[in-house]
Amino acid sequence: MKVLFYGSTGPYVELLQSTLKKISFFLGNIDGNFGMRTRNSVINFQNSFGLIPDGIVGTNTWNALMPYINGYIYYTVKPDDSLYSIAEKYNTSINNIITANPSLNLSIIYPDQILVVPFGNIVLTNINYISNFMDMNISSLKIVYPFIETGNIGYSILGDNIPYVKIGRGQKQVLYTASFHANESITTNLLMKFIENYCYSISSGGTIYGFDAKNLFNTVSIYIVPMVNPDGVNLVNGAFSQDSTTYNRAKLISSNFPAIPFPSGWKANINGVDLNLQFPAEWEKAKEIKFAQGYTQPAPRDFVGYGPLTEPESLAIYNFALTHNFRLILTYHTQGQEIYWQFLNYEPEGALEIANIFADASGYTVANVPYESGFAGFKDWFVQNYNLPGFTIEAGIGENPLPISQFDEIYNDNIGILVLGAVL
Ligand SMILES: [Zn+2]
């Protein structure tokens, strides 16, 4: 973790502020600027945790913060402990502890035994994700909810892993994706929070959007790829310093398109290829349209690349789809509060009905895809190749990147779609 101090800026400062806020040491706005208010919060935290109160967040302070970032600790059982007393101490439930320790035999917890004790939320909903934070959260979710499967579908241009999470053991498979586009990363927060809430419902024997979570777990396998474009997201959300080669290479690409703000207008992967214009579904048509618009070379958005599937990120999701048996896909984008279900004249059985049910559940509108963005998308290819329901959900409303303050509204609007996508 980065060493942070007065004057530091960026996503790690946001993570610090978000974490201190979680435990009520920081009451200011999360702005990614390490100012006096953040410094005072750090000093209070350090005093409370027996650390040297120097206001600098180095290894020891990060280590003390880590349980609150991860949402669990490894706890060494003491002679007088019971599961009940441990749960009380960490303001959690016995059920949560049992879930996180599947090999635990209730009758024999013994001194010096090491238990995973989960507490609090893991997933970030008040700051933007960079890929590191997502990876940390996925690791924590896997420890707290060991019944999920995690892995990688492939790697980005810069060698970052593109993770997936699988929840469920049913024959029926569905796929949900987010952040194909770099400046749409609020969709990553959405899918990550869905994973956490669904897992919690499964673990506690509860419901999600009115459906019995364990039953859903047993009947459907939901595959989630929460960040298809980690390099692009990292660029937009400040993971690369402004003197880095990566940042400056992207800036140079962007300089040919001065009307597009940098980096906030960046949608492409780090090569300047739009990953959602890369699929063998009328790719030539997409090329013709986008070239006519002036996107004839690597660009912050709308460059189709030099051929279909030239980019490792689009190839990874394509291969992932080919090696599974998805009955339905949701591809999350922002914005517009719209649902797209069509490609050319394909009308997969049930797709329009499902789109209308999604619209009822979300308050979003079933819409026709704008002609100029109607080709070579992942959803387009899926519909063309399988003639099965595939949807683009344009979540939220406003100008991209949407502010993270829209998170709660977007989650509440989309939880029905996310559950019904597996049920229908
Ligand atoms: Zn998009």
Strand partners, 155: 161
105 and 148 assigned to the same domain? no
Tens of pLDDT along 221-237? Answer: 999 999 999 999 999 99
Does the residue 156 lie in any domain?
A: yes
Run of H or E including 415? helix 407-423
Rounded Cα–Cα distance for residues 115 and 77 (Å): 7
Does the residue 270 lie in any domain?
A: no
Q: Whole-number mean pLDDT of the chain?
A: 97
Which of 29, 53, 69 is a domain's end point?
69
Q: In the chain, how many domains are there?
A: 3
> What's the gap in Å between 184 CA and the centre of ligand 1?
6
Scanning 205-295, the segments in alpha helix (DSSP H) are 213-219, 230-236, 245-255, 283-292
pLDDT for the residue numbered 104: 81
- Class of residue 97 by CB neighbours under 10 A (exposed 0-12, middle 13-18, buried 19+): buried
48 and 145 assigned to the same domain? no
110 and 169 assigned to the same domain? no
Residues marked active site are found at: 394
Q: Any residues with CB less than 8 A from the CB of 342 and at least 6 apart, and which?
A: 351, 368, 369, 383
156 and 59 assigned to the same domain? no
180 and 317 assigned to the same domain? yes
164 and 111 assigned to the same domain? no
Scanning 327-406, the segments in alpha helix (DSSP H) are 351-362, 378-386
Tens of pLDDT along 335-394? Answer: 999 999 999 999 999 999 999 999 999 999 999 988 988 999 999 999 999 999 999 999
> What's the gap in Å between 332 CA and the centre of ligand 1?
7
Does the residue 251 lie in any domain?
A: no
Cis peptide before 335 (omega within 30 of 0): yes
* 19: Cα within 13 Å, side-chain hemisphere: 23
77 and 54 assigned to the same domain? no
Tens of pLDDT along 183-215? Answer: 999 999 999 999 999 999 999 999 999 999 999
Does the residue 89 lie in any domain?
A: yes
Structural domain boundaries enclosing 388: 131-232+311-423
99 and 49 assigned to the same domain? no
Does the residue 283 lie in any domain?
A: no
> What's the gap in Å between 393 CA and the centre of ligand 1?
9
The residue type found at 412 is N
108 and 28 assigned to the same domain? no
Domain of residue 397, CATH code:
3.40.630.10
> What's the gap in Å between 422 CA and the centre of ligand 1?
22
Tens of pLDDT along 389-405? Answer: 999 999 999 999 999 99
Does the residue 277 lie in any domain?
A: no
